[in-house]
């Protein structure tokens, strides 16, 4: 089998406080014969800070990465961090729809981005390159009740991202069902966790993340499944603030969707970085995978 090669932008969080996200993405890719090629000499996307303070900067930082990826001959770019993904897609959209700004940004970064990259978030990456390989490679069924949490930047703004529904998205649920999980309906799928205000406005993060964790727990979910390092940090590391807001201690763990896939593939828990979480991931007793799981609407993004 020929190895699939895809461009990869880990982003800063995945090299630091959320390295287990990177570890689990890399682990499942390697297991399924996919090579992820990092953009040479990539830089930070600028995140919330850049677009809050300066428009040209907020477009130039992602644009440098996009131009470098294009120079390296990459066609697809997998961006697991939902915030980086949002900045990249927004930049691509702005540059392709505003020629004056496009020229200006080319001047600032000293490179030209032509706009030929296909930017994929982690779910699109899974849908396109992972899901078809699951049937032949799953070792264990993820036989748990899960709450898939999408947050903001994976699905909004829909006009630019054109990915899944803004209010009741389904793509992560489909993937989790495919692994054998029972993904529940719940109220906080796309509510904001407080995102980049984790340090500078912690009270708000305690309240917003508190509601999310409480609802998932209340409806009997055994795990929260996420696809964004900021969502993960807030829901996992901010548990003292969350518990304080809720007035009770909640032990529901938070897993990256790639860690859930990794567990189903039988990859070692430490390779997936589960030991790095603040809320202990106790989940075990996975059923050995017996027969192929049929899931309706496997390609839900096509319908929207």
Partner 1 sequence: MSESHNHLVDNSLSGKIKKETGVSVARCYQCGKCSAGCPVSVDMDYPPSLLIRKLQTGLPEHEEQVLRSKSIWFCLSCEMCIARCPMEVDIPPMMDYLRHESIRLKKVNPASKNIISFHKAFLDSIEQTGKLYEMGLIVDYKTRSFNLMQDVMLAPSMFAKGKLSILPEVIKNRRNMKQIFKNTLKNKQK
CB of 225 or CB of 237, closer to partner 1:
237
- By CB under 8 A, the count of residues binding partner 1 is 56
Of these, 4, 5, 19, 118, which contacts partner 1 (CB under 8 A)? 19
Q: How far is the CB of 166 from partner 1 (least distance, A)?
A: 4
Q: How far is the CB of 259 from partner 1 (least distance, A)?
A: 15
Of these, 56, 112, 182, 217, which contacts partner 1 (CB under 8 A)? 56
For residue 5, list its beta bridge partners: 35
Q: DSSP readout, the chain?
A: -PPEEEEE---SGGGTTTHHHHHHHHHHHHHTTEEEEEPTT-----HHHHHHH-HHHHHHHHHHHHHHHHHTT-SEEE--SHHHHHHHHHHHHHHHH-HHHHHHHHHHHTS---S--EEE-HHHHIIIIIHHHHHHH--EE--SEEEE--TTTTT-SHHHH--S-SSS--HHHHHHHHTT-EEPP-S-TT----GGGTTTTHHHHHHHHHHHHHHHHHTT-SEEEES-HHHHIIIIITHHHHHHHHTS-----EEEHHHHHHHHTT--TTTTTGGG-SS------PEEP-SPPP-S-TTHHHH-
Q: How far is the CB of 269 from partner 1 (least distance, A)?
A: 14
103 sits near partner 1 (criterion: CB under 8 A): no
Q: Considering only 135-143, 185-193, 254-262, 284-292, which stretch makes contact with partner 1 by CB under 8 A?
A: 185-193
Q: Considering only 60-68, 122-130, 138-146, 173-181, which stretch makes contact with partner 1 by CB under 8 A?
A: 60-68
Q: How far is the CB of 126 from partner 1 (least distance, A)?
A: 23
Of these, 30, 71, 167, 168, which contacts partner 1 (CB under 8 A)? 167
106 sits near partner 1 (criterion: CB under 8 A): no
Query: With contact defined as beta carbons under 8 Å apart, do 181 and 134 qualify?
Result: no
- Map residues 204-243 to x or -, x wherever contact with partner 1 holds by CB under 8 A: x---x----------------------------x------
108 sits near partner 1 (criterion: CB under 8 A): yes
Summarize as ranges the residues that interact with partner 1 (CB under 8 A). 12-13, 15-19, 41-44, 46-58, 60-61, 64, 107-110, 152-153, 156-158, 166-167, 190-192, 194-197, 199-202, 204, 208, 237, 275-278
């Amino acid at each position: 089998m020929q190895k699939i090669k895809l461009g990869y932008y880990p982003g800063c969080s995945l090299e630091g406080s959320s390295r287990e996200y990177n570890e689990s993405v890399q682990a499942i890719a390697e297991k399924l014969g996919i090579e992820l090629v990092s953009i040479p000499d990539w830089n930070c996307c600028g995140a919330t800070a850049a677009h809050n303070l300066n428009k040209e900067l907020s477009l130039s930082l992602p644009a440098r990465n996009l131009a470098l990826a294009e120079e390296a001959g990459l066609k697809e770019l997998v961006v697991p961090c939902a915030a980086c993904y949002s900045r990249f897609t927004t930049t691509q959209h702005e540059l392709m729809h505003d020629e004056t700004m496009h020229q200006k940004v080319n001047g600032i970064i000293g490179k030209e981005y032509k706009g030929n990259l296909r930017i994929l978030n982690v779910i699109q990456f899974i849908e396109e390159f992972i899901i078809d390989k699951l049937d032949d490679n799953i070792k264990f069924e993820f036989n748990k009740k899960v709450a898939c949490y999408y947050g903001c930047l994976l699905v909004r703004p829909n006009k630019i991202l054109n990915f899944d529904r803004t209010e009741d998205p389904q793509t992560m649920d489909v993937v989790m069902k495919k692994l054998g999980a029972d993904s529940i309906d719940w109220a906080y799928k796309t509510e904001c966790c407080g995102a980049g205000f984790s340090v500078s406005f912690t009270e708000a993060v305690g309240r917003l993340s508190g509601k999310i964790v409480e609802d998932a727990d209340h409806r009997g979910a055994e795990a929260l499944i996420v696809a964004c390092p900021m969502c993960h940090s807030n829901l996992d590391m901010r548990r003292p603030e969350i518990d304080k807001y809720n007035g009770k201690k909640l032990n529901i763990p938070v897993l990256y969707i790639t860690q859930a896939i990794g567990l189903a593939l039988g990859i070692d828990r430490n390779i997936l970085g589960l030991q790095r979480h603040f809320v202990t991931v106790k989940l075990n007793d996975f059923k050995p995978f017996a027969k192929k799981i049929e899931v309706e609407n496997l390609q839900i993004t096509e319908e929207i």
